[in-house]
Structure formats: structure tokens, C-alpha cells
Amino acid sequence: MKKKSLPKIPSDKKSSGILRNPLNGSPKGGSGKGSRRPNPFVVLVLAAVFVSAVVALFASDTKQNVNEKAALSDVIAQYHSGAYSEIIVEGNTLSAKKPAKEKIVGDRVVKIVDVDKVLLPPNDGIVDLGFNDKAVPTKLTIKEDALGNALIELIPTLVGAVLFLGVAIFLFSRMGGGGANPVAFIKSRARIYDPKAKDKVTFADVAGSVEEKEDLAEVVDFLKNPKKYRDLGAKIPRGVLMAGPPGTGKTLLARAVAGEAEVPFFSISGSEFVEMFVGVGAARVRDLFKEAKEKAPSIIFIDEIDAIGKRRSPGIGGGHDEREQTLNQILTEMDGFDNETSVIILAATNRADVLDKALLRPGRFDRKIVINLPNLEDRKKILEFHAKGKPLDADVDLSSVAATTVGFSGADLGNLLNEAAILAGKLSSKTVTAAMIQQAIEKVVMGNTKKSLRMTELEKKITAYHEVGHAIVGKMLAHTDPVHKISIIPRGGAGGVTWFLPEKDRTYVSKAKYFDELATYYGGRAAEEVFFGSDFITTGASSDIERATEMARAMVMRYGFDEDLGPENFAAEQVAGNYLGAEGSGKIVSEKTQEKIDEKVRLILKGSYSKAKEIILANRELHDRIAVKLLEKEEMLREEFDAFFEGVEGLPEKAVA
């Protein structure tokens, strides 16, 4: 029972990985900066074990569906008709394997092998039973003992482990070649991208994002021609922060910078620092910067810097944790650079709003490149980029796909075409058709359908009225997006979904739209109450209520939409800002103000609910008709829905904002 429309406000649920550090709570002992550093040999062995586990996991992607109750006569008959790909005899059991079938489970392709298992009669051997028929192409395998089998099954695992060791040793020896010793590599744990690698990423691999690329090209130029800028008296930027929602290509852009600049590029992720033992994070930063300086001009890329650079909370916990030490070390290193050092630090974050302001001061990350969700034109370019190598059917129009994917990130778009291609493979189609792409969009937006989620007739009925409630309220208000699709096929955890699709990209959202959206969120619950009575309202509206509450709080606390409280920010430390990095004042509101905020939020929410209920009450008969149709068809598209409103009085003219 979800209503989908506005792009999600990035949530701050991402917990800092430091909580997982078992040593975190313990006093910061003299852990000796080097003594806890993992020994390279131990790392390799652990990695090999890990790889073996992964290999074992992949191996189990083939599922055997064993039929223990197969009848021997039946197996013999099927054998002669060529139904099996392999017959395996082990002691007195015979397993007859059918060819693997592919099935999609969740988002993985799983191979299913049907196996018929029978016990051989004590007096008849397989030859007696006719399992050596030359005319049948089925492979016949006779296994001698169980131990031998176990060893054979272990082979892929062992091969994986040996391969990994080989690759690791090869990498280490290469790192060593450049003068840096392999241990230093382990110490800083940064990955170095080889600027001459064949598969390097360049700006050509980033579709759209023209302005972002221009900004970054400047950085590349600083590194390539530092003298040009120094002669002009220009200060070379120290740190460049890329901020934007997840999946917008920040990591990709950073790798492209490495490819373009052709200088050593050290890459490490903030979460990797966090996972380290006490005292090691700071030491690693030191090593990393030291190495980068030796190799200058060079780039250090810190991905997901919010994992370490989170605002330090005053008072709580004394603030001497690992994260803070690491952060302080970064700041110290950055301050230690002089204008002659050609090391640029590039960082990326989805949450610039939670970053410690010390990071953003001049001389540190003083350049910010905001990376937005792609607009229509860029979505088309990204789709075209990811469509390369995928045979698209003639009926596919990527412009229209771009138009229906407002709010999708680059990663979503790549994902979408990949899903469509998987679907094509599943259906043994030679091309990816428009219908497959449409299905993939729905999967990305609304989640996979869960046909197995059984709902009772009453639940289905309530769901239908609930979803139509969202749709009708949205239709009757001026500032909402058009209904794209209503469905009561369960998806994810929801029984149904109403999908509103914006017709164009939006940078700002008006107050009027916020209010209309709120009422639309309550359309579901209001419909339940109107049609089934207040005793029968369900838990299905919980996510609608959650989202509405979040919106109303933002309206009052951040957007200044409440006239009484005025255009003041009450949210600085309490509500997640957006990725642009709101300059929070860090103030804590007075108790009296807080009460007033709560009261206003409640007022807005109750008012929105009343508005929704009013609309539902005024359109009961229409609601009934649409819900009956939806129950029958389970899904309804915009045209069918809109057709119900022909000749209906009081339809608003859709507003532009």
C-alpha cells in the first residue's frame, strides 16, 4: 500500500560502521601504531578462505530438486526417451539428472536440476536394467566411493583459492616494481589505479554530466600543468568534494579523473577506515598521504567520506573515537600541504549535510561539485550508453524511456536496462523489447511482484479501495502528478501500489504541491475508513503515514511553509538535510518552540487527512466503480483510470508547479 512519487529524501539510516568495531568501547590502549597491522600472510590466507566461501556459494546457485520417490520403471522409460542428461550410480542409488532449467529467484538466476532418485534392486545391475543403451545420448557416471566424490566437489573451491593467491601475488609483485614496497600497499590499503591500464575509465564512460565533467577537467588540468597555474599566482585547490544522491556516478567520475589525469590515483573508501582497529585508521591516513606525496602529482580519492567525516557530536561519548582520530589526521595532513604539493584530494559523499564543517573550511574541501540526478537529456544519454551491446528491438524508443524515468539515478538506469536484458534472456528473446523495458522500470520503481503473497478476499478488496483512494484524491487536486498505474498485485512488502509519474523534471517543489501530495498520501487510509468503517482501517497505511509525517515536519522545520512559525530553520540538528549540505546552525530549539512545531505538524497532517476524506466522500460512487474494475483486472493504466472521469464535474486544471 504504497504511494510512489517524489524522489526519496536521502535517509540518514546509514549507521556508522564503527559500531561493529568490537574494540570500540574499550579504552584506547597503547595499541602500538604498527603492532596490530595485519600480517600480509594472514591477510592472504583469510582472503583465500573468503574466496573459497564465495566459490562455494556460487556453486550452490545450482539447485537440485531431488525426487526421492521416483519409480524405477518410470525412470527407465524416461531414460529411453532421452529425458535425462546424466545418470549417476553411486553404490546402490541411481540419480537421473534432467538438463538444468533457469529460474529467476529474487534477482538471481538460479539453475534448477530435477533429479529422480531410485534404489537399484539388489540383484539387477545397471546393465541388466538397460542403462547402457548406446542409442541414448545420456552420460553414464559410476562413482566408486563417497570420499572420492567429496574431493572432486572440492576442486572448484581449491582452484578458486589458488587462483586468488596467484593474482594477489602478481599484484603485489607489480606494486613492488614501482619502488613502493608491497607492505606499504597493505598499510594504506588504498588501491592504486594504473594510469596506463587498458580498461581504464575516462570521461567518455560517463554519459551526460557535462558541467560536472568540466569542473573535474579543471582539476585534471591543475595536475597536468601545475606550473601554468602557479605562474599566474593561482592557488591549486586542495580538496574537491563531490556531493550527490547515491548512484549518480560519483565513484565513476572519480575513476574517470584518474584515467584522464594519468597520475597515480590512490583510492580508499571511508567505510574501510572505520572497520579498522583502534589507532590504525589515523596511521593509515598518514601512510596514504606520505605515499601520495612521494608520487606527486597524484590524486587521493576518499569515497563515502561521510563514514569518517560525520559532524562531531558535542558532549556525547567524549568524542575520542576512531572515526574522529582518522578525521583529525586527514585534516592535519591537508593543512600540512604547501602550495608546491601537487596532491589533490577528491572525496565523494551522498550526505554532505552530515559532514563536519571543519572539513569544508578553506584549504580543505573548499570546492564542492554537486552532482544531481540526471535530467531528461542526460537520462537519454545514460540509457544510450548502457544500451550499447544490448540488441534493442525496433519498438524501443529510449527518449520515451527517459521521459518515464524521472527521478532515476544513473545507476538505476543502468540497472533497468540490465534487468530488461536478463528478462529477454529468460524469455529466450533475441532482442530487448519495449515491453521488457517497461517491466524492468516497474521492478525498479515498485519492486518485484510477489505472486506468492496470499491475500484474503477481504484484504484484496480493502487494498483495491485503498489504492483507488490515493488515485482519486490525486486526480481531484491540481498540484499532483498524473496517475501512471494502479496495481493490487503484491510487491515487496506492500499489497498494492499507486504510481504517480511526474511529467517533467523538477528542481523545486511548491508549497501547494506539498499540501496536495500530503492529502494524496492519506487518500488510502481515508478510503479504508469511508468504505469499511473506522474499525476496519488497516496497518497497510503505515508507510503512507510515515512519509506524510516526514514531509510535514520538513514543511514546518525546513521550508518555512508555516506562516505562524515563519521562515526559520528549526531543523539544523534534528532532521536530515538534503545532499546539498544545509549549513546547520546547530541550534537546539526551546521546549516551547518544539511544542509549537509538534502542534503545527499535527495540524497539517490532520487537515490533509480531512481533505482526503472529503474528496473520497464526494466521489463514493465513482470510487466504487473504479475499485470493482481494479479488483477484476488487478492493474489499471492511466488511460483506463482517466476514462472514468469523462464528464465528471469539478476536475481541476493540473497546475504547472
Shortest Å distance, C-beta 455 to ligand ADP: 35
Interface with ligand ADP includes 414 (CB under 6 A)? yes
Closest separation in Å from C-beta 581 to ligand ADP: 15
* Residue 7 binds ligand ADP (CB under 6 A): no
DSSP tally for the chain: helices H, then strands E? 21, 16
Choice among 324, 442, 467, 528 that is catalytic: 467
Which residues, other chains included, contact 596 with Cβ-Cβ below 8 Å and sequence gap of 6+?
A: 564, 565
Number of residues that bind Zn ion (CB under 5 A): 3
- Scan residues 403-462 and list those touching Zn ion (CB under 5 A): none
- The CB-of-272 to Mg ion minimum distance in angstroms stands at 13
If one asks whether residue 544 binds Zn ion (CB under 5 A), the answer comes out as yes
Instruction: Write down the least CB distance from residue 350 to Mg ion, Å.
Output: 8
The residue number with the shortest CB distance to Mg ion is: 251
Q: Tell me if 251 contacts Mg ion by CB under 5 A.
A: yes
Find the shortest distance in angstroms from Cβ 55 to ligand ADP. Answer: 25
Question: Among residues 21 and 248, whose Cβ is nearest to ligand ADP?
Answer: 248
581 interacts with ligand ADP by CB under 6 A: no
Residue 495 as a binder of Zn ion (CB under 5 A): the answer is no
C-alpha cell at 488: 493490487
Q: Which residues have C-beta within 8 Å of that of residue 323, sequence separation ≥ 6?
A: 16, 18, 273, 274, 281, 307, 308, 310
Angle between helices 511-532 and 620-633 (to 10 degrees): 80
Provide φ and ψ at 483, rounded to 5°.
-70, 130
- Chain positions 363 to 392 lying near ligand ADP, rule: CB under 6 A, are 382, 385
Binding residues for Zn ion restricted to 502-541, rule: CB under 5 A: 524
Q: Is 277 in the site for ligand ADP (CB under 6 A)?
A: no
Residue type present at position 4: K
Rounded to a whole number of angstroms, the minimum distance from the CB of residue 283 to ligand ADP is 27
Q: Using CB atoms within 10 Å of the CB of residue 72, give its burial: 0 to 12 exposed, 13 to 18 middle, 19+ buried.
A: middle
- 8 Å CB contact between 552 and 601: yes
C-alpha cell at 112: 534448477
Binding segment for Mg ion among 107-115, 249-257, 267-275, 586-594 (CB under 5 A)?
A: 249-257
Strand-pair partners of 370: 243
Provide the residue type at 535 as one letter. D
DSSP state of 321: S
- The kind and range of the H/E element at 549 are helix 542-557
Q: Work out what residue 246 binds among ligand ADP, Zn ion, Mg ion, none; the CB cut-off runs from 5 to 8 Å by kind.
A: ligand ADP
**Percentages (nearest 5) of helix, strand, coil residues in the chain:** 50, 15, 40
269 three-state secondary structure? strand
What are the φ and ψ backbone dihedral angles of 655, each rounded to 5 degrees?
Answer: -80, 160
Question: Closest CB to Mg ion among 209 and 251?
Answer: 251
Nearer to Mg ion, 251 or 326 (CB): 251
Residues 6+ apart with CB under 8 A from 297: 223, 224, 226, 261, 263, 342, 343
Judged by CB under 6 A, does residue 411 bind ligand ADP? yes
Strand partners, 302: 268, 347
Q: How far is the CB of 107 from ligand ADP (least distance, A)?
A: 16
Least distance in angstroms from the C-beta of 597 to Zn ion: 26
Q: 462, 528 in Cβ contact below 8 A?
A: yes
Question: Residue 266 or 301: which CB sits closer to ligand ADP?
Answer: 301
Q: Does the active-site annotation cover 639?
A: no
What span, in angstroms and rounded, lies between the C-alpha atoms of 362 and 311? 17
From the list Zn ion, Mg ion, ligand ADP, none, partner contacted by residue 544 (C-beta under 5 to 8 A by kind): Zn ion
Q: Which partner, Mg ion, Zn ion, ligand ADP, none, binds residue 252 by CB below 5 to 8 Å per kind?
A: ligand ADP
Residue 414 interface partner, choices Mg ion, ligand ADP, Zn ion, none, CB cut-off 5-8 Å depending on type? ligand ADP
Q: Which does 411 bind (CB under 5 to 8 A by kind): Mg ion, Zn ion, ligand ADP, none?
A: ligand ADP
129 vs 217, beta carbon nearer ligand ADP: 217
Rounded to whole angstroms, the Cα distance separating 455 from 387 reads 38
Determine contact, residues 209/250, Cβ cutoff 8 Å.
no
CA–CA dist 106, 449 (Å, integer) = 10
State the binding partner of 479 from ligand ADP, Mg ion, Zn ion, none, CB within 5 to 8 A by kind. Answer: none
Q: How far is the CB of 350 from ligand ADP (least distance, A)?
A: 7
Q: 297 touches which of ligand ADP, Zn ion, Mg ion, none (CB within 5 to 8 A by kind)?
A: none
Q: Which DSSP category does 372 fall into?
A: P
Q: Which residues inside 240-269 make contact with ligand ADP, applying CB under 6 A?
A: 246-252
Which candidate, 498, 409, 410, 511, places its Cα nearest to that of 1? 498
- 302/128 Cα distance (integer angstroms): 69
Distance of CA 2 to the CA centre of its chain: 19
Site for ligand ADP in 200-219 (CB under 6 A): 206-209
Site string for ligand ADP, 168-207 (x = CB under 6 A): --------------------------------------xx
Tell me how many residues contact ligand ADP (CB under 6 A). Answer: 17
How near is the Cβ of 594 to Zn ion at its closest, in Å? 29
- For residue 405, state whether it binds ligand ADP (rule: CB under 6 A): no
Burial category of 552 from C-beta neighbours within 10 Å (exposed 0-12, middle 13-18, buried 19 and up): buried
With CB under 6 A as the contact rule, the residue among 239, 410, 474, 581 that binds ligand ADP is 410
Q: Which three cell numbers stand for residue 355?
A: 559532514
Residues that bind ligand ADP (CB under 6 A): 206-209, 246-252, 348, 382, 385, 410-411, 414
Tell me which residues are annotated as active site. Answer: 467
Residues that bind Mg ion (CB under 5 A): 251
